[in-house]
Amino acid sequence: MEIPTKKEAKILVVDDIAINLELQKAYLTAAGYEVIEAKSGQEALQKVRDEKPDLILLDVMMPKMSGYEVCKILKNDPETQFIPIIMVTALTSVEDKIRGIEAGADDFISRPFNKTELMARVKSLLRIKFLQDQLHQRMQELSEARERLQQLAITDGLTGLFNYRYFREQLEHEINRAERHNLDVSLVMMDIDFFKYYNDRNGHLAGDEVLKHIANILCSNVRKIDIAARYGGEEFALILPETDKNSAVIVAEKIRKLIEDDPIPHEERQPNGKLTISMGVSNFPDDSRTAKGLIEIADRRLYNAKQAGRNVVIAE
């Protein structure tokens, strides 16, 4: 982000006396700044919201709402707190300056002011403002990059589902939560039937499309609290928090049927004429109280589903 030129810098001048307003406007316009005006505190607050100025020249003594009040409101608002404010005043006492500082003013200039001094103060505060904006943008970019990296670290690159490492962490987490709150957790392990046969006949690119297609079906048919993951190869896993075994079987059957009924390119070449999936279900606390135990039992039932002819859900 480059520091903007004078033409790009927008300055709000706030004064209820027309001659003062015009004088400041003339100085700033001659120096190349874009100038907007406000004749009251209320108008100034509206102009800040609408115009988003880079700097404010704010008269202290105004009727209804003083410059101190306007400054305090702006500095207490997260959206406007970093806009630099120069208070313009005929008051010169230490008490008046302290009051302005307490309100959040960044600088003061006393009337009658020197044009060169005014321009120097404006230029200095604008430079600080633009450097703050640059820093904020860099921090935002770093935060977004960190979030992207964190997401990549837990995501399977092909399917977009969570990866094996995240699956294991979350299964442990959900079991611990269920233990504390006396809840159920169910696990569904699933494996595409005859997937190697499909790959050999149709190529790995076609196989990748199948994996992505099934991942989409999973994501579209589970709750936000459920965790769908690619366990490895053609195997997927689904963690169902707060779900007993009977309910988990219903979810598994729904997904199995959706995959069976959904048309997949070249599935007619499969040994059973369709591309299907087999599933094994286990439950905490009924089957096991550990993540390792739940995986082993669900995996064994998945193997039994294969032995039973495939395209079935086995939970016992």
Residue 192: strand, helix, or coil:
strand
Strands 227-232, 185-192: parallel, antiparallel or unpaired by DSSP? unpaired
Of residues 179, 234, 235, 253, which has the active-site annotation? 234
Q: Which of 240, 211, 243 is nearest to 224 (CA)?
A: 240
Q: Please state the φ and ψ torsions of residue 207, each to the nearest 5 degrees.
A: -65, -40
- Amino acid identity of residue 264, one-letter, is I
- Amino acid identity of residue 263, one-letter, is P
Residue 281: how many CB atoms within 10 A of its CB? Answer: 29
Q: Which of 78, 76, 99 is nearest to 87 (CA)?
A: 99
Find the radius of gyration of the CA atoms of the chain: 33
Annotated active-site residue 234? The verdict is yes
- The alpha carbon dihedral of 203, 209, 212, 216 has a sign of negative
The residues assigned a catalytic role are 234
